Structure 1
Amino acid sequence: MPETAILILGAGPAGAACAIGLRRLGYPVTLVSDWRRFAAVEGVSQRVLDALRHAGLGGALGQAAMPATRHVRWNGEQLQLNQEFLLDRQRFDAALRDELRRAGVVLVEGRVREVQREHGYQVKLEHGPVLQGGFLVEARGRQAPLASDRLRGPETVSLLNLWQSTPGPPASAVESLDDGWAWMARLADGRCYWQITLDAGAAGLPGRAQLPGYCADRRRQSALVRELFDPQALQPAPVHARSSTAILAGDCAGSDWLRVGDAAMAVDPLSGNGIFQSLSSALQAPVVINTLLRMPERAALARQFHQQRIEQLFLRFARMGRDFYRQEQRLAGQPFWRNRQDWPDEQPMHVAAQWSAVRIERRPVLRDGWVDQTEVVVTADQPLGIWHLQGIELAPLVAKLQAGAAIDEVLSGRAPDQQGMLRRWLAEQGYR
């Protein structure tokens, strides 16, 4: 039974998923967090809900997620899309804590004042005991101290407003503006949210005391706001300001520490749902930590695996956000849009398949609860490599085809459905 005590700083989805994964591996886990102080809601897709359930956090969804109709006004078009789910973050975070307690995670509420590294880690809180552990997971999101950043996007700020109105059917909407964009939602109990995302250095942004009036003026200019909310929406409301700048941290893994979630990579909110992005890095973390602690001879391989996937995920989501910004062509000449339609690069989300460029390399993978190394197939769309397709290792098949074997010979003996799946995958890689 592993005995290294693990400290996790941060109780959001990334910290929670990592904690539950480590408990499944038998590690003693203490999670410390300063619980969320402000009300917030997020719009999530069915894909996000499925990812939360896969991470062992599905029990919290029944108390916090509700379906809603979504309206979109973008690039001069007005659409009503399929429903999304509105996630009440305060209720969800409270339910997450219940899930963690049931999993055997020790929860400590408090604000971290100092982290010392000497014979393990000592975490000092503003009020409370000194916590000790042999391994540290940084999962405090954007609030985590950042020694360095490897890549940083245009400086962006989001202003979240909330107020209470009359109950009604849940709904959400998003609209593009000359100098940014706004997302808004109404919960069934009448709680209302409106968030505007702007350039952090935008001229005309007032001081903190004037923000409620400034945001109310912006809402009065929106026909979509008047359609979604009642007249209460046109009055000043409490404002919570937060950074939305895309940031890729420098090193995200060491011999006895790891960064996960927004502490490792925080992306522009237009790139997709923040919870899904956080889970993308946190789900691999328990296996990486298990390898670092129990197989030190593979420590470099484990750090390489975590770092490469963090960086690849960040670029993928950053390019996704860039392409969403590019869909707004009417405002392409405005500074806010111009600065975000060309970042982080010009590389397309999906590169045209070319069989001659497909190659086989040895890369780190997750195998049986450890980080291991094996041959994978590297393609333009999968630069970190693909190990297997529904349990079928791809490198041996590709090696035979590249050596000149006929496809019927390579696939002989496999079930018809497997042959069809492999033929489709090969065609997607440009094999003819």
Structure 2
Amino acid sequence: MQADPHIVVLGAGPAGGAVALGLRRLGYRVTVAGQARPFAAVEGVSERVLAGLRQAGFEQALAQVPEPSPREVTWSGQTSGANTERLLRRVELDRAIGIELQAQGVTLLDGRVRSSRTCGNGYRVEVQGEQGGDVQVLQADFLVEARGRAAPGAGLERLRGPETVSLLQAWQGPERAPMSAVQSFGDGWAWMAATEGGLRYLQLTLDVASANLPPKEQLTEYCVTRLSSLARAAPFMAGASPVGTPHARTSTPILCREPVGDNWIRVGDAAMAVDPLSGNGIFQSLSSALQAPAVINTLLRHPQRRAQARAFHQARVEHLFYRFARIGRDFYAMEQHSAGNSFWQARRAWPDSVEVHQSVTPGQVSIERRAVLNGDLIDEAEVVVTPDQPLGIWHLNGVALAPLLRAWREAPDASAGQAALARALGERGAQAPQLLQWMRQSGWVS
């Protein structure tokens, strides 16, 4: 590998941008190639999303985030209005991310990635300029695939959940206070949002096999008819009219079984895309992207650790996918009125029956060597593995936990165990009682 490797990121959204900024902080030469979304969209984001944007370094993007607005949920006939979310227009978010990238020294190419293929030990990437402009050719030593669900499969094995489609359409109406709503119905669910300027965004999520969608030219009428039957949609449709035609996009959960190689990595929705039900799509996309710079840094600078780096990324992508999928499964299971319909039956039992939060007993707790994130690199260390923490826990408030658990287990009794914990903690020995209480509450010790 040359002294100054060139890393090319395909995709200029939150995931690709987060990887690019992280790599720039590590001193790498980075080029991002991507184009704006072909349709208008707004996303309801939670405070977790803001925390992820902040961790990624998107200060410009954070400045675009509006104040929280009310969110009403009607699910299984029950209505709750206690939640809020921030209605963020994607075009503004993506523009702010681009400004941030350029300000931090990332080369940003606005265009369509026409092709990317291996070339020697690296890649040759062709980027088509806007409106049929010139084609730029990039030589990359490392490739980051961050084009979301639209990313080519590249022949990689993928796990797919129930095939799902979402129909999104913009509406224009009179000015009103921003708000959003969710409502379940017989064969799917709807999300509605009203933003400043009288814009509304109404989306239906349906099962691909059973939706019986009409031809494209009839989709607007189809959506209006379906939405008109929903009580929660009435305030968003009042005095408003559809703008353009609905945009159909897949929202099928997809897991890429092999998300990383020695000179490439997949992040965000290109690595794992889950059901949009939770409203944390950007957070889920950032979850795998934030760890990627350390994985890439290890692959490039410490080839002897490539196996650990690849294992680290793959394990975490799979863990995140199943965690989010199970949360969605449990939410689908809460719908009782339409539980017998095919849409709900397929989703209330997928991906498995494993509980999201599992109880832990001391006999289920083990100490194992696993790949861990150690600063800007992937390393290997002893971690404590439990049913609810299958990836293992290395540190708690800067204290390595495996040596402490081993010290407790090797002590002859509880009194000696607490003394052993104090000795293992060294200068922080006074914290032994609190740590022991935490270990008991976590089910590690009796």
TM bucket, shorter chain: over 0.9
TM-score, with structure 1 as normaliser: 0.96
Residue in 1 that maps onto 2:418? 408
Q: Distance in 2 between matches of 1:46 and 1:285?
A: 22
User: 271-280 or 68-77, which moves further after superposition?
Assistant: 271-280
Once the two structures are superposed, residues 202-240 of structure 1 have per-residue CA deviations (whole angstroms, 9 ceiling, x without a partner) of: 24311111111100111211111113442325x575211
Residue in 2 that maps onto 1:340? 347
Once the two structures are superposed, residues 114-152 of structure 1 have per-residue CA deviations (whole angstroms, 9 ceiling, x without a partner) of: 112112111012342111110000000011111233311
Q: Secondary structure at the match of 1:111?
A: strand
Q: Does 1:392 align with 2:399?
A: yes
Once the two structures are superposed, residues 7-44 of structure 1 have per-residue CA deviations (whole angstroms, 9 ceiling, x without a partner) of: 00001100000000000000000000021121111111
Number of residue pairs aligned between Structure 1 and Structure 2: 431
Q: Distance in 1 between matches of 2:65 and 2:186?
A: 33
User: 316-325 or 59-68, which moves further after superposition?
Assistant: 59-68
Are the structure 2 counterparts of residues 163 and 416 from structure 1 closer, same or farther at C-alpha, using a change threshold of 3 Å? farther
| Of 256, 264, 285, the match for 2:271 | 264
User: 406-415 or 182-191, which moves further after superposition?
Assistant: 406-415
Q: Does 1:319 align with 2:320?
A: no
Once the two structures are superposed, residues 61-92 of structure 1 have per-residue CA deviations (whole angstroms, 9 ceiling, x without a partner) of: 22243321000100110110232111111111
Are the structure 2 counterparts of residues 181 and 2 from structure 1 closer, same or farther at C-alpha, using a change threshold of 3 Å? farther
User: 69-78 or 398-407, which moves further after superposition?
Assistant: 398-407
Please tell me the residue identity of whatever aligns with 2:300: L
Q: Distance in 2 between matches of 1:416 and 1:231?
A: 66
Residue in 1 that maps onto 2:254? 247
Q: Describe how 1:302-313 pairs up with structure 2 within 5 A.
A: 302-313=309-320
Q: Does 1:359 align with 2:366?
A: yes
Q: Distance in 2 between matches of 1:272 and 1:232?
A: 24
Q: Describe how 1:112-127 pairs up with structure 2 within 5 A.
A: 112-119=113-120, 120-126=122-128, 127=134
Residue in 2 that maps onto 1:214? 222
Are the structure 2 counterparts of residues 418 and 259 from structure 1 closer, same or farther at C-alpha, using a change threshold of 3 Å? farther
Q: Does 1:232 align with 2:234?
A: no
Residue in 2 that maps onto 1:142? 149
Once the two structures are superposed, residues 308-330 of structure 1 have per-residue CA deviations (whole angstroms, 9 ceiling, x without a partner) of: 11111111111011011011122
8 Å Cα contact 2:333-2:348 kept in structure 1 = yes
Structure 2: stretches of 5+ with no match in the other structure: 129-133
Q: Does 1:286 align with 2:293?
A: yes
Q: Does 1:166 align with 2:203?
A: no
8 Å Cα contact 1:378-1:384 kept in structure 2 = yes
Q: Distance in 2 between matches of 1:22 and 1:39?
A: 30
Q: Secondary structure at the match of 2:335?
A: coil
Residue in 1 that maps onto 2:59? 58
Q: Distance in 1 between matches of 2:13 and 2:435?
A: 37
Please tell me the residue identity of whatever aligns with 2:159: L
Residue in 2 that maps onto 1:191? 199
Q: Distance in 1 between matches of 2:421 and 2:3?
A: 42
Residue in 2 that maps onto 1:99? 100
8 Å Cα contact 1:271-1:318 kept in structure 2 = no
TM-score, with structure 2 as normaliser: 0.93
Are the structure 2 counterparts of residues 427 and 2 from structure 1 closer, same or farther at C-alpha, using a change threshold of 3 Å? farther
Once the two structures are TM-superposed, the CA of residue 111 in structure 1 deviates from its matched residue by 0.9
Q: Distance in 2 between matches of 1:252 and 1:23?
A: 22
Q: Distance in 2 between matches of 1:74 and 1:349?
A: 20
Q: Secondary structure at the match of 1:364?
A: strand
Once the two structures are superposed, residues 360-399 of structure 1 have per-residue CA deviations (whole angstroms, 9 ceiling, x without a partner) of: 0000001131110010000000111000111111000111
Q: Secondary structure at the match of 2:363?
A: helix
Residue in 2 that maps onto 1:86? 87
Q: Distance in 2 between matches of 1:271 and 1:322?
A: 10
Q: Secondary structure at the match of 1:121?
A: strand
**Among the aligned pairs, what percent are the same residue?**
52
Q: Secondary structure at the match of 2:136?
A: coil
Q: Distance in 1 between matches of 2:263 and 2:119?
A: 12
Q: Distance in 2 between matches of 1:168 and 1:369?
A: 47
Q: Distance in 1 between matches of 2:244 and 2:8?
A: 38
Q: Does 1:427 align with 2:441?
A: yes
8 Å Cα contact 1:216-1:237 kept in structure 2 = no
Once the two structures are TM-superposed, the CA of residue 402 in structure 1 deviates from its matched residue by 1.9
Are the structure 2 counterparts of residues 203 and 26 from structure 1 closer, same or farther at C-alpha, using a change threshold of 3 Å? closer
Q: Secondary structure at the match of 1:130?
A: strand
8 Å Cα contact 1:172-1:186 kept in structure 2 = yes
Q: Distance in 1 between matches of 2:51 and 2:439?
A: 24
Q: Distance in 2 between matches of 1:327 and 1:428?
A: 28
8 Å Cα contact 1:213-1:236 kept in structure 2 = no
Q: Distance in 2 between matches of 1:184 and 1:340?
A: 21
Residue in 1 that maps onto 2:131? none
| Of 156, 159, 178, the match for 1:151 | 159
Q: Does 1:378 align with 2:392?
A: no
